[in-house]
Amino acid sequence: MAGGISDIYFTSLRLAKGESVAAASPAPRARLPGGGTADSRAGSDGAGLVDSLTAGLTARLARFEKALSRFAWPSDASSANNARLVAPDAGLAGRLAAATADAGQAENPVKFFSDGKSAIAASGIPAGSYRFAVAQGGVREDFSVGVGKNDTWGTVLGKVAKAINGSADLSVRASVARSQAPFSLDPSLAATGTVLALSVNALRREQDVAVGDVTGDLMTRLGLAAVPAVAEAARPSVYAVSVDRLAQPTFFHSTAYDPGAATTLAAGLHHFAVATGTGAQTESYVSNAFDPEAKTTLAPGTYTFTAGIGQASRQLAVTVKAGWTWGDVQNAVTATINGSQASVWAAGGTATELVGSAGYSLPGVTASSHTVAVPATNARAATTTGRVLTVETTSGFEGQGLTLADGSGGLLAALGLATRYTGQVLSVGVSAGDTWKDVLGNVARAVALSTSRAAAATRQSEVPSYAVPRTRLPMLADTATLVLVNRRLGESLTLTDGPTGLLRGLGLDTSLPGQDGRITVNGRGIPSENNVYALQSGRLDLEAAGETGGDLPLAVTRSMDAVSERLQGVVEAYNDLRKYLLANADAFAAVLADTLAGPVAANWPGLAALGFSKTRRGDMLWISAADFWRAFYTDAEAGRQTLAAAPSGLVPAWKAALAAIKAVGAAGYLTPETAHLSRVAVRRTAADLERTNWLVDWRG
């Protein structure tokens, strides 16, 4: 027998091939009560011996549990050659779920790609106004885009993307990306350069998207073409993945109020603004409500103010005359901003005259007034008629920074044009005698009616009351909640409070800020609005549930390779556990080994068909690779039922058995003699007793 250590030596140590003495064998053992043996390294006391036995069992149970957790059966129904299995690192458990789509069943999140050109190259598209339509499911929306004479390719793509992303009803995402090389962005995209991509998140119900020209041929000139369906199975790959943050919607929650208590808010009309979406929002100023027939309290004279948008501004002036009403003041300001004229009462109030500006209006800014119902301050159900003046940005000038500033006289302050709102301005009336329940309900209804993108409601909950000192008495309180629904990438819900402080008074001026989710895959950051991601053109789907704190590996493998490797690991861990129990049969109750062997016996006909065999001693398992793969190819479903079908398949049944064993604990399976060993005095020989009296132990 030349070379190597004899097999007899390994057999005597009960080692499996490749195992070390320290990892697989129990330590040298001493005789236990009842004829068993024990670990001589446990020390001279029985407590150390018990700890050594339970620690050895616990370590092997943990190894077995880890091997079981890594085993998985392919989630798709493809043939054995095409089937794929996702093998994530154990650190991704509970943080990132991954699954592959069946061959031919993948839903590519990218729906359209344009042609590719240099972003700084001339677009080659004739200047003019173009209209195109985008349809998603049963919703269609038309968009207008103006192309300038000197617009570059990147500029035109940016305008189209901005228009689509500004939609309030579509969940289609338009992005401008650069294709570094053919097929680098998608297997269907051979173009290089800057391209426009239209995509839909994998979690969206409506995945069908259509694009077409309405006026002009902009989509045709961009070369926008649908992405073909994905037919092949996922490509075996290894990814370094980290979950950087989770997506969250914006959430507002008011203070809790006694629903029957009278509100402390002032009676009258209160304004605030709601904004949703991903693009720039309309900006506006809204005045207080005035009785248009009431005499103004402004002194006659000339009042100046400045209106500006972006980098442009204009100094304006209004001359208030004796006898004017608040309606006259509003008309004069409206005419001055719009560069038009308005009819007002002349001095003395006996005739009318035209006032305003004969100049040009400020581009992007318009003013108007309209009638509103204002709650009366002395009767709950009564209202009076009032008018408010609104100054806002026009279409195409959203988000450019509208400003109004007083000059001499304080005209804007007197009108209440001091707060800039972002989004749609809403009005809520508070009447004399209204309760907190009335106010909260009116706010929630106003938001719900203004947009379908925000879920607004009031609810009642039990909260502690401190009406009696040092006593927490329960009471029912009302709250209002506002939540952004159907969130899109980069979208948030924002509220702008008015000068009366309605939102501040209700506690709705602070929120849980929304955010996009983000994962990093092989160094590339990928955002998501709902924690769902798609790789390989939709052939690999990911769903984040918790942050990882760093990169962890995730592999997509051919199922046949992964199943074989992971199953072998399970069998090795099981055999190691069986060997330990066999070597310490006197120390542990037989029910432990029987519990582990139960799933094997219950599934033995199927296991035998898959090439499993048992050793004569200890019921160890081994697998014939040739027989296993022959059975796998012949009837993969039968193999799945035997190995992976819950709850009676081998691996699920082993997991259940292991959970029951862990619930009892390793020490709970010790035999009575072993469990109470620490209470038995250690036997000492005559030589031991004599040696304790020696000054020096010369025998060592």
Q: Which CATH architecture has domain 110-228?
A: Sandwich (2.60)
Q: Whole-angstrom Cα distance, residue 628 to residue 622?
A: 11
- pTM (2 d.p.): 0.63
Instruction: Give CA angle at 374 (369, 377), nearest 5°.
Output: 145
Evaluate whether 647 touches 660 at the Cβ level (below 8 Å). no
User: What's the Rg (C-alpha) of the chain?
Assistant: 39
Tens-digit pLDDT profile for residues 557-575: 776 667 778 899 999 999 9
Tens-digit pLDDT profile for residues 412-437: 999 999 999 999 999 999 998 899 99
**Mean pLDDT estimate for the chain:** 84
Share of the chain above pLDDT 90, in %: 51
Hey, what amino acid is at 243? V
Tens-digit pLDDT profile for residues 322-341: 888 999 999 999 999 998 87
pLDDT at 604 over 90: yes
pLDDT at 154 over 90: yes
555 falls in which pLDDT band (50, 70, 90)?
A: confident
689 falls in which pLDDT band (50, 70, 90)?
A: low
Tens-digit pLDDT profile for residues 662-678: 999 988 898 887 766 55
pLDDT of res. 80: 56
pLDDT at 658 over 90: yes
Q: Whole-angstrom Cα distance, residue 592 to residue 588?
A: 7
Evaluate whether 247 touches 516 at the Cβ level (below 8 Å). yes
Tens-digit pLDDT profile for residues 40-60: 333 445 667 788 888 999 999
5 falls in which pLDDT band (50, 70, 90)?
A: very low
Tens-digit pLDDT profile for residues 172-212: 999 999 998 888 888 888 888 999 999 999 888 899 999 99
- Domain residue extents for the chain: 14-75+559-679, 84-101+515-557, 110-228, 251-287+361-511
Q: What is the mean pLDDT of residues 132-142?
A: 94
pLDDT of res. 527: 93
Q: For residues 630 and 3, which has the higher predicted lDDT (pLDDT)? A: 630
pLDDT at 76 over 70: no
pLDDT of res. 42: 39
Distances (CA, A) of 662 to 23, 26, 567, 665: 21, 21, 22, 5
pLDDT at 302 over 80: yes
Q: For residues 649 and 277, which has the higher predicted lDDT (pLDDT)? A: 649
pLDDT of res. 677: 58
pLDDT of res. 404: 96
- DSSP for 644-700? T-TTTSHHHHHHHHHHHHHHH-GGGGB-HHHHTGGGSPPP--HHHHHHTT-SS-TT-
| Maximal CA-CA distance, the chain | 134
Hey, what amino acid is at 226? A
